[in-house]
Structure 1
């Protein structure tokens, strides 16, 4: 939920800004810019999930309206949590798949930094 509320997450615009993507485009629908607002209010890929959310929080999906609804109703809070969990887990899985693609642009590839190497040796062998 924090990713949607802060616009820091698996959104093309954010990933481009931190140099993890070549373009800010939406990988789900091809829109030129993918943001939290695009994901929440516009992207046709999330239409069914959005319709369910709107039955609980109302038609206005602006952040101010969503936060107000979440503070006014536990049902709205749970609907937003469910929406964001489902959408963001799918966006994160797609991002990981793009990172793991051996033909991916170097910007997009998963980085194996020192922290990853330090913790990898603590894991049991496969």
Structure 2
């Protein structure tokens, strides 16, 4: 849910800004810019999830409306948490698949071991 509320996550615009993507394009529908707002309100890939969330909350899915509704009831909070978990899990799985693809652009590939190497240098010798 935090990724959707902050627009920091597996969104093309964020990944492009962090130099992990060549462009800010949405990989699900091909829209020129993928943001949390796009995922929440516009991307046709998530129509089934939108319908489920709208049936539970009965509101439009603009971010300000969602936040206000979420803060009004625990049921709305849980519905939004489920929605975010389902969508972000799928987006993250797709991102991992792109990172592990040997034919992917170098920006997209997983940068394996950097953190582990930095940590290993801090350890005393055996």
User: How does the TM-score come out when normalised to structure 1?
Assistant: 0.89
Residue 27 of structure 2 is aligned to residue 27 of structure 1: yes
- CA deviation string 1:39-95 (max 9, x = no partner): 001111000001111112233212111111111111111110000000000000000
Please give the residue correspondences for 1:1-126 in structure 2 after superposition, counting only pairs within 5 Å.
Answer: 1-117=1-117
**Contact 2:46–2:87, Cα closer than 8 Å, also in 1:** yes
Partner Cα distance (2:32, 2:63) in 1: 21
Partner Cα distance (2:97, 2:6) in 1: 24
Partner Cα distance (1:104, 1:89) in 2: 21
**Contact 2:59–2:65, Cα closer than 8 Å, also in 1:** no
| Higher Rg of the two aligned structures | 2
Kindly tell me the number of residue pairs found equivalent between the two proteins. 120
Query: Could you say what the CA RMSD is over the residues aligned between the two structures, in angstroms?
Result: 1.5
Q: Which secondary structure does the structure 2 equivalent of 1:55 belong to? A: helix
Partner Cα distance (1:40, 1:118) in 2: 37
- Stretches (4+) displaced over 3 A: 116-120
Unmatched tracts of structure 2, length 5 or more: 121-126
Q: Which secondary structure does the structure 1 equivalent of 2:9 belong to? A: coil
User: How does the TM-score come out when normalised to structure 2?
Assistant: 0.89
